[in-house]
């Protein structure tokens, strides 16, 4: 159970007493930025998909063990969503100082607000697929929004 908990809580960052989703997202951002120093952005995207597949099964097992759906300590969904955001937004070494905070803020916005079908997935889909699904869609939306905002900033401000 400890290795599963380490994985699902992203190195126990989800055990933070305050804002575990935000802490998990920030830790995931830092890990993602570190990986992007060595890996192509498409590899980060593929890693997020692999982690999602593994996490769905592990969340199903964990939820049966603890008897609760989508416990706040589970933040592996934030990792997958944050990495998808980074994969889509167009982050690179020349814009990292702008894109990293924009991507983080948009991901947290969509993950907390849960507009449209992001909220529907969160409410209606059970088990690991439900836990992971809303954050995957939030990551896609955040990646697109981040890319758009960065284009506006670079055109009119930078």
Q: How far apart are the first and last CA of the chain?
A: 49
Can you read off the two tokens belonging to residue 156?
């009119």
Region 28-36: mean pLDDT is 98
C-alpha–C-alpha distance, residues 35 and 55, integer Å: 19
DSSP H stretches of helix in the chain: 2-8, 20-36, 41-66, 76-89, 96-113, 116-124, 127-156
Residue 49 backbone class (left: φ over 0; alpha: ψ -120 to 50; beta: rest): alpha
Tens-place pLDDT, residues 96-129: 999 999 999 999 999 999 999 899 999 999 999 9
Query: Domain extents for the chain?
Result: 1-10+20-153
Say what the pLDDT of residue 1 is. Answer: 55
Q: Over the Cα atoms of the chain, what is R_g?
A: 15
C-alpha–C-alpha distance, residues 73 and 9, integer Å: 6
Query: Could you tell me the pTM of the whole model?
Result: 0.95
119 by Cβ neighbours in 10 Å (0-12 / 13-18 / 19+) ranks as middle
């Amino acid at each position: 159970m400890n290795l599963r908990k380490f994985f699902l809580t992203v190195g126990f960052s989800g055990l933070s007493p305050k804002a575990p989703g935000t802490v998990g997202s920030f830790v995931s951002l830092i890990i993602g930025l570190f990986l992007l120093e060595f890996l192509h952005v498409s590899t980060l995207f593929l890693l997020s998909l692999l982690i999602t597949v593994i996490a769905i099964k592990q969340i199903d097992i964990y939820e049966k063990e603890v008897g609760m759906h989508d416990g706040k300590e589970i933040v592996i969904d934030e990792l997958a969503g944050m990495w998808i955001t980074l994969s889509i937004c167009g982050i690179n070494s020349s814009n990292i100082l702008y894109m990293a905070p924009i991507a983080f803020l948009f991901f947290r916005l969509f993950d907390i607000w849960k507009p449209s079908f992001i909220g529907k997935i969160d409410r209606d889909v059970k088990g690991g697929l439900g836990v992971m699904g809303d954050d995957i869609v939030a990551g896609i939306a955040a990646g697109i929004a981040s890319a758009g905002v960065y284009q506006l900033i670079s055109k009119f401000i930078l």
